[in-house]
Structure 1
Amino acid sequence: MYFSEVRPQEEITQQLRTLTTGKLRLYALIDAAHTATKLQMIRQHVSFDAALGLFAGMPEQDAQSAGPFLLQLNPFETTHEARISWLIKAQILAPCVTWIWSEAIPSVLHRHLQQQLIAKLPDGNEALLRFYDPRVLQQLLTTLFNTEQTKALLGPIVRWHWYLPETGQQAYSTDTTAVS
């Protein structure tokens, strides 16, 4: 699906509301490793108090402030309206937000995503897998990963959206009945 460049914010907001129904929870996965200015803008308008840092308790914990954060959102609550609006603005300015729909509660999804951070390389070494960066996520899901690797990364995730200015809105879904 491609969102027009004329009003991507309105179209993304509508898509978020359309897909957040029933048991599905909406999450924003925020890549905080962007320039200080963009991160400062996000933090001014989006409280990270309820966010779960993916680097917490990991060897990368010292870099937590620049790491990925998982934040549960409800697009129907007025208190979240401003958060969602600012996250959409941020994702349009820079690839730093992806949207996840899952039935999993925050702690379960957080644990799953943490388990995906470290990739085992063929030579036995380990590397940080930056799937929380939409540019990397797109390559993993569309080109690099086989079916088994994709299933492992997605786990309890039903749908994962991201926006890149050069390609527009992209989505990967394990739910064949989901809105495309």
Structure 2
Amino acid sequence: MSRPDLLLRLAELRVKNPALRLHALVDGLLYQECQQDAPLLGEPGTMAVLAGTIDDHLFDAGPWVIDYELVPPPLRTAVLCAEKSMPTAVTWIIAPLDIEALAEMLRARIDVSLPDGQTAMLRFWDPRTLAIIGRDLDASQRHEFFGEIVEWHFALDGRHVHIARRHADAH
């Protein structure tokens, strides 16, 4: 099982940048609810974003980066099934980063400072939050947040949406 639309888009983008990779960003808690027979822990091509952070105790329930080309076919199928049954459980990232570099980049974006000085966890792996981020950040914030991500794809209100690098660069 695969996402032909994303694989086609990846192939198109690789014409200009062969280093691009397709990653799934999976909400660990939602994934566990619908895919208990295909655990992420210990699988090649998977990395818990919260591992090694102050929220390490939540690593299994937090976001997981999955290198779609490195994981075994049964795990690919499980991720796609999770996306189909719970669209907010999976987003897709196309970037020229390996799994470790992407996880590190995402770790740096989890905690945000609130105006009152408190720190909050920014649940950017949830498509509803990601859409607000793409819409409401100013140009420099958007550019900084998306970093080296070329495109971020997700389902929102029954439609397929993506935020492209050019959107961050154009504002």
Same fold (TM over 0.5): yes
CA distance in 2, matches of 1:39, 1:140: 28
Contact 2:31 2:82 in 1 (8 A): no
% identical equivalent positions: 25
Determine if the alignment matches structure 1 residue 173 to structure 2 residue 164: yes
Deviation at 1:66, TM superposition (A): 0.6
Residue 43 (structure 2) aligns with: 49
Deviation at 1:116, TM superposition (A): 0.2
Aligned match for 2:113, one of 97, 104, 120:
120
Deviation at 1:82, TM superposition (A): 3.9
Aligned partner of 2:120: which letter?
A
Residue 30 (structure 2) aligns with: 34
* Matched residue SS, 1:171: strand
Aligned partner of 2:59: which letter?
Q
Contact 2:31 2:89 in 1 (8 A): no
Q: Which has the higher contact order (CA 8 A, sep 6+)?
A: 1
CA distance in 1, matches of 2:103, 2:31: 24
CA distance in 2, matches of 1:35, 1:73: 15
Residues 20-57 of structure 1 deviation map (CA, whole Å, 9 limit, x = unaligned): 232211111111122753141553xx675231111111
CA distance in 2, matches of 1:30, 1:129: 15
Deviation at 1:117, TM superposition (A): 0.4
- Tell me the number of residue pairs that the alignment of Structure 1 and Structure 2 aligns: 159
CA distance in 2, matches of 1:110, 1:47: 15
Contact 2:24 2:65 in 1 (8 A): yes
CA distance in 2, matches of 1:107, 1:19: 23
Aligned match for 1:24, one of 4, 20, 25:
20
Aligned partner of 1:40: which letter?
Q
Contact 1:102 1:159 in 2 (8 A): yes
Aligned match for 1:89, one of 81, 87, 99:
81
Q: Report the more deviating stretch, 133-142 or 60-69.
A: 133-142
Which runs of 5 or more structure 2 residues have no equivalent in the other structure? none
Deviation at 1:93, TM superposition (A): 1.2
RMSD: 2.3
CA distance in 2, matches of 1:37, 1:113: 23
* Matched residue SS, 1:160: strand
TM-score, reference length from structure 2: 0.81
